[in-house]
Amino acid sequence: MSEIDENSHQDKHSRKTLRFGEEITMTQCGYSFQPVLDLELEIDDRVYMYSDDGNLEINLLGGALDDNASIAEINDSLAAELLGNVDRFELIEAGTDAIQDVRGFLNEVYYQDAGEEGIGRAFICSPHINQYFFLLLIASVDFWQNYGQEIFDQLKGKIQFHPQFSTDVNRESRPSFADLTLETFETVEPGEDFLLTIQKSDISILLSAQADTQDVKVTVTQINAPDGTPFYHYDSASGEFTSSIFNKPLIGDHGEVCVYLPRDNQNPLIPGQYVFSFEAESGAGLDQVQVIIRSGRTVEMQTLDMNFWLAVEDDRFYDQDDLGDLEKDIRESLEEKMLPFNLRPGKIEFIHPAMDELEAFTSINLQTDLADCSYMILESINNTRALNIGLVNQFYDSDPDIEDNITAISSGSPGMILASGSPHSCILIEWPAYKDNLTKFTDAVIEQMIIFSGIDTRNTQSQGSGGLHLSHEIAWRIRRHPLFYESD
């Protein structure tokens, strides 16, 4: 192949401002793009744009990335497939490039066809751990030397990535909700960033990162906003911690750590790609990351369903009339506290544990039993988009240095919902401490619900208010949580 000097026409290089059309989403390919209006457009399982005079061709492809697949091999394979009709071509490694801050590998392309020579660029990346994206742009030599790089750069700015590919084999059996996107991403390697793309209509993220065993701690080490701003950093080795929105490091016991955003109304979600980094105590990678993204609006009345798991012997729990009266009284007390903030209780269900479960969990060791309660409740419930509330007879602490005065507790802050298994999926209340005062009982439910949601509660309560209560500030924050849904 003859030597092509791309710099020989540098003086002829001029800016070419392209006109782009409305965004088109390639749902099964994991990306969206804006077509160049002056080019012909063909779409099947890939995107093909080309000029009538044959000076410019653009190909966009995306798809599921198999485990242990090599990005370099996929790059060579796709380039060979798309350039299969030219007489000869050559790929030359050119370092890295990025789309949406997702870095990938760049190749210069040189080809000959029917005596004519051309130049281009091939770019490949993995926007998400089980997804690839490939871009190939080729042009005649003169066209490339005048406009090629400019077009390549403009086109990159019109591509958005979407986490379309889930390797969760049970996904089809999971409940679907119109305002929620549920994804499970498997196997995040040690040191590998987890990238999550947020759209304009998304209003909250609930994320859990899980190790492959339940006896290790999992830590969030970094969170960056789409504009690159690091708003959370924690170095477990040195203990160095900085964050503009969290007041302490995010460290989860029992093999799981959870994150909820936004935590306040000064830092709403912004469109683009969030970057998360995690660290497992064992040094191994993560087994999976589960993500719930809520979209839409929250201006209307928001509803919260509740599951009560009755791990305590009380005659009222075994008489249907008494249980019906108890539900009515709980609902009325909750409505009194929630309706002023455009929130309301929804479906309330009571679940009775099996006899062996009742014996095992009527007294709860705060050091060891919270995770087991979460697992047990998840096995018993039908409504997974609900606040799980375990009623037990007694809390105790096996640490003699800790004063035992706790009567209500959350297993996680934030906790996880819509999960088949999570150690952080419920709140627990000591029923004898509240059974004769339902006003205090519903106060405890609301306080633990606020803690469970993982919002920022600093500077939201007046001094001496005696615990967390609903306020307009807190209501703004929790109504975006995927626990809530818009009332009919």
Strand pairing category for 302-311 and 387-392: parallel
Identity of residue 425: S
Chosen CATH of 171-295 out of 3.30.365.10, 1.10.230.10, 2.60.120.380, 3.40.30.10? 2.60.120.380
Q: What is the C-alpha separation between 283 and 255, in angstroms, rounded?
A: 12
Secondary structure letter of residue 332 according to DSSP: H
DSSP E strands: which ranges in 336-386? 343-351, 363-365
β-pairing verdict for 202-210 and 256-261: antiparallel
Residue whose token pair is 């929804």: 346
CATH, range 6-161: 3.40.1000.10
Question: CATH 3.40.1000.10 in the chain, residues?
Answer: 6-161
Class of residue 329 by CB neighbours under 10 A (exposed 0-12, middle 13-18, buried 19+): middle
The pLDDT profile of the chain, 488 residues, written as one tens digit per residue, is: 334 444 434 344 456 778 999 999 887 788 899 999 989 999 887 899 999 888 999 999 998 877 667 788 889 999 999 998 889 999 999 988 999 888 889 999 999 988 889 999 999 988 876 789 999 999 999 999 999 999 999 999 999 987 644 333 333 345 678 899 998 887 777 778 899 999 988 999 999 999 988 888 999 999 999 988 999 999 999 999 999 999 999 999 899 999 999 999 888 899 999 999 999 987 777 888 999 999 998 889 999 999 999 999 888 898 999 999 999 999 999 999 999 999 999 999 999 988 877 888 888 888 889 999 999 999 889 999 999 999 999 998 877 666 568 899 999 999 999 988 899 999 999 999 999 999 999 999 999 999 999 999 987 764 445 678 999 999 999 999 999 999 87
Give CA–CA dist 132/464, Å, rounded: 54
Q: Which long-range contacts (CB under 8 A, 24 or more apart) does 320-323 make?
A: 323/350
Identity of the amino acid at 242 = T
- At the top level of CATH, which class does the domain 302-486 belong to? alpha beta
Question: Residue 404's pLDDT is what?
Answer: 67
In this structure, how many other beta carbons lie within 10 angstroms of the beta carbon of residue 193? 16
Q: Which of 229, 223, 230, 282 is nearest to 258 (CA)?
A: 223
Question: Could you tell me where in the chain the CATH 2.60.120.380 domains are found?
Answer: 171-295
